[in-house]
Amino acid sequence: MNILVIHGPNLNLLGMREPTVYGTTTLAEIDRLIEQKANSIGAAVRIKQYSSEGDIVDEIHRAIGWAAGIVINPAAYTHYSIAIRDALAATGLPVVEVHLSNISARESFRQISVISGVAKGVLSGLGAHGYVYAIDYLSQTCAVS
Ligand code: CA2
């Protein structure tokens, strides 16, 4: 089974800035946890981080025919990117939306996700565990691809 994992803008700064909000784990460490989980269940993961919306849309399109599911932390795009929402919906693939912080407990503008409506589910506030649980969920529920 192939799973695409996408990290949105600024997540490359994890562990280096704002540790009180996002913790001290770096993105490289999160990617290692994702790879360890995938290896343990025999899944293949492609993990990408992008700053720009268009790059994320293009990567989602490339998942068609390759991935059985998508794990995405769209970061700030969560709150307004209809383009990413539409691209995810167009794949027809199961999507798990992940957030390190609990967006429902933060500023009002973060409490709106335009992505959640096209996701199977949302893991928010569980830090890096959210990605690991998302991989586990997809591996147990997706058709093989
Ligand atoms: O909690 C999450 O995972 C978020 O998707 C993170 C986004 C934020 O815009 C969403 O509302 C919630 C921000 C990612 C920025 O990450 C940084 C990491 C270190 C320093 C600065 C930003």
pTM score > 0.85 for this model? Answer: yes
Which range has the worst mean pLDDT, 6-10, 63-67, 138-142? 138-142
Q: How far is the CA of 143 from the centre of ligand 1 (A)?
A: 31
Residue 134: beta bridge partners? none
Q: Where are the domains of the chain?
A: 2-144
Residue 111: beta bridge partners? none
Q: Best mutation site among 5, 6, 11 for ligand 1, i.e. most ligand atoms within 8 A of its Cβ?
A: 11
93 within ligand 1 shell (Cβ under 6 A): no
The confidence band for 20, taking pLDDT boundaries of 50, 70 and 90, is confident
* Top-level class of domain 2-144: alpha beta
81 within ligand 1 shell (Cβ under 6 A): no
- The pLDDT tens digits for 21-79 are 888 999 999 999 999 999 999 999 999 999 999 999 999 999 999 999 999 999 999 99
10 within ligand 1 shell (Cβ under 6 A): yes
